[in-house]
């Protein structure tokens, strides 16, 4: 397996390839961001729509989940998006 992946002709030795180029998690999927956004709106309503809506993205990566949630929220509920921190 190691040779097939990392050997001279291996999968990850091809130009432009590498483990990061082929690794995706649910945090990268816009549908997951929408689901988290909907949950955030539910929590927001239960909290009585506070002035500041705090959201912490604890996922590993480059913040794709937080960015996706913010994009979805901007379209779905501009007021909540304005309060998002």
pLDDT at 32: 93
Answer positive or negative: Cα dihedral of 39, 40, 42, 43: positive
Tokens of 7: 């050997």
Q: Give a yes or no: residue 2 inside a domain.
A: no
pLDDT at 18: 58
User: How many structural domains comprise the chain?
Assistant: 1
Q: Has this prediction a pTM greater than 0.75?
A: no
pLDDT tier, 8 (very low <50, low <70, confident <90, very high otherwise): confident
Domain membership of residue 48 as a residue range: 24-83
Q: Give a yes or no: residue 66 inside a domain.
A: yes
Q: Give a yes or no: residue 48 inside a domain.
A: yes
Cα distance between residue 51 and residue 33, in whole Å:
22
What is the SS3 assignment for 55? coil
Q: Give a yes or no: residue 4 inside a domain.
A: no
Q: Give a yes or no: residue 50 inside a domain.
A: yes
Q: Give a yes or no: residue 3 inside a domain.
A: no
Q: Are 50 and 83 in contact (CB under 8 A)?
A: yes
Residue 31 phi/psi, 5° resolution? -65, -40
pLDDT at 17 over 60: no
């Amino acid at each position: 397996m190691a040779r097939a992946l990392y050997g001279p002709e291996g999968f990850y030795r091809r130009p432009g390839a590498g483990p990061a180029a082929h690794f995706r998690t649910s945090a990268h999927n816009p549908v997951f961001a929408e689901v988290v956004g909907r949950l955030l709106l539910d929590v927001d309503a239960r909290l009585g729509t506070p002035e500041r809506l705090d959201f912490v993205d604890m996922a590993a990566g480059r913040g794709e989940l937080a960015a996706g949630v913010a994009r979805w929220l901007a379209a779905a509920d501009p007021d909540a998006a304005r309060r998002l921190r």
